[in-house]
Chains A and B, each alone.
Chain A
Amino acid sequence: MFRHTISELKEALVCLKAGQVTLHYPFEPSLVEDTFRGRPVLNTRKCMCCGACANACPARLITLTDSDGIRALHFELGRCTYCGNCRDVCPQEAIEMSMQFETSTANPEDLVIHAEFYLQTCRDCGAVVGTQREVDVVREKLSNSPVHTNYAGYFDLCITCRRKQAIHAPSLTLEVVP
């Protein structure tokens, strides 16, 4: 009996020494590590709407839809698994995994990212080439290379029209060796 009391007293002392274990969480910010992957955020200044993220997303929550000269990029983040594949594949580094994890909401519409970009259409046939930003990015990347001067006219052509023009281009005509 006495022994029990002593052991209980010891336990009580240990508990006193340990202090408060419980986090004070909702009333103070929680610490997250630097590598934590929270809600993805789209930087709309960098994004060129190429669709690499839509291709890589395992939950298929990123969709691209073309209508009336506008390409809409739509994230339904309610289904997001926070894998970070979209951030990894983005060539423009426009997607960032934020530190935010307190995303609870009553309305799934609150977790939507919707961005619309102008489409570039082919100057010959009118088919979709890509977004205007995509074309701008390619033009900027090639601006310092000699290729730019030769192929400047090809930027606003679709792939089919580009082939048609290239086959008749004088620089590509083959010499027939007798």
Chain B
Amino acid sequence: MSNTIDNALNWCFKKSVWVYHVNAGGCNGCDIEILDALTPYYDVERFGIKLVHTPRHADALLVAGPVTRQVRERVLRIYEATPDPKLVVGVGSCAMGGGIWHNSYATLGGLGNVLPVAIYIPGCPPRPEAILYGVAQALGLVPQQVKKQEYLEVT
């Protein structure tokens, strides 16, 4: 998976990344935070990131929400319509593992079950800063901060 990011890096620096925003059955919370990230206060356009109106112009997909059964076909069609090379960013806890709908019959339990995801941004919803950080991490500007916490009792 880190290989995907490395490949993404190579072409991301050559030109600006244009993103297409997909709501795959989310509650709109993540969508509002994505909108916040586009405002002049947070300003993702500093990194050359711009929202476009059709997946055919996009380099990356910002997908929010647990993928519902109804929306799965549409998400796949959007993914196929996006020209290669493409990057999929999962925004929100729902995209990561289904969120609080992880075991619902109506969802497919996260974006990872449907599309190959380059980076996940957890949060419910993630702060605009978190989205910025995730995007900057995908571009290789900042390091990853989290790692697995493990504890085994030895007495």
Q: Does chain A bind chain B?
A: yes
Is A129 in contact with chain B by the CB < 8 A criterion? Answer: no
Which B residues are CB-close (under 8 A) to A111?
Answer: 96, 122, 146, 148
Q: What is the CA–CA distance of A114 and B5 in the complex, to the nearest angstrom?
A: 27
Residues of chain B within 8 A of A112, CB atoms compared = 148-149
Say yes or no: A115-B150 contact (C-beta < 8 A), given A78-B120, A107-B1: yes
Q: Do A116 and B151 contact each other (CB < 8 Å), given the known contacts A22-B40, A25-B42, A108-B120?
A: yes
Which of A114-141 touch B at CB < 8 Å? 114-118, 132
- Is A16 an interface residue when CB atoms closer than 8 A count as contact? no
**Contact count A vs B, C-beta below 8 Å:** 138
Report if A82-B145 is in contact (Cβ < 8 Å); known contacts: A22-B40, A104-B130, A115-B150: no
Interface-side segment among A6-14, A36-44, A150-158, A169-177: A36-44
Complex: chain A residue closest to B126, CB-CB: A101
User: In the complex the two chains form, is A110's CB within 8 Å of B151's CB?
Assistant: no
A81 touches B153 (CB 8 A): no
Digit string of B99-137 for contact with A (CB within 8 Å is 1, else 0)? Answer: 110110000000010000111111110110110111011
Q: Do A100 and B151 have beta carbons less than 8 Å apart? A: no
Known contacts A78-B120, A101-B123; A114 and B150 CB within 8 A of each other: yes
CB distance from A133 to the nearest CB of B (A): 8
Contact B148 A104 (CB under 8 A): no
Q: Which of B70-100 contact A (CB under 8 A)?
A: 93, 96-100
Report chain A residues within 8 Å CB of B138: 104
Q: Is B46 at the interface (CB under 8 A from chain A)?
A: yes
Contact B102–A115 (Cβ < 8 Å): no
Q: How close is B24's CB to chain A, nearest CB, in angstroms?
A: 16
Interface range on chain B (Cβ under 8 Å from partner): 35 or more
Interface check A105, CB cutoff 8 A: yes
* Size class of the A contact interface (CB-based, 8 Å): 35 or more
Using Cβ atoms and an 8 Å threshold, which residues of chain B touch A118?
A: 153, 155
* In the assembled complex, A159 has its CB within 8 A of some CB on chain B: no
B121 touches which one: A27, A104, A115 (CB < 8 A)? Answer: A104
- Known interface pairs A41-B149, A106-B5; 19 further A-B residue pairs with C-beta atoms within 8 A, sorted by A's residue number: A26-B132, A30-B129, A59-B99, A59-B100, A60-B103, A78-B93, A78-B120, A78-B122, A79-B102, A80-B122, A81-B124, A101-B130, A102-B142, A104-B120, A104-B122, A104-B144, A105-B119, A106-B117, A116-B153
The residues of A with any CB-CB pair to B shorter than 8 Å are: 21-23, 25-27, 30, 39, 41-42, 44, 58-61, 70, 76-82, 100-118, 132
| Residue ranges of B at the interface with A (Cβ–Cβ < 8 Å) | 1-2, 4-5, 40-43, 46, 93, 96-100, 102-103, 112, 117-124, 126-127, 129-130, 132-134, 136-138, 141-142, 144-153, 155
**Can you sample 5 A-B contacts with CB below 8 Å?**
A23-B42, A59-B93, A79-B93, A110-B148, A116-B152
The 9 lowest CB-CB distance pairs between A and B, nearest first, are A104-B134, A81-B124, A78-B96, A44-B151, A115-B151, A26-B136, A78-B97, A102-B133, A79-B97
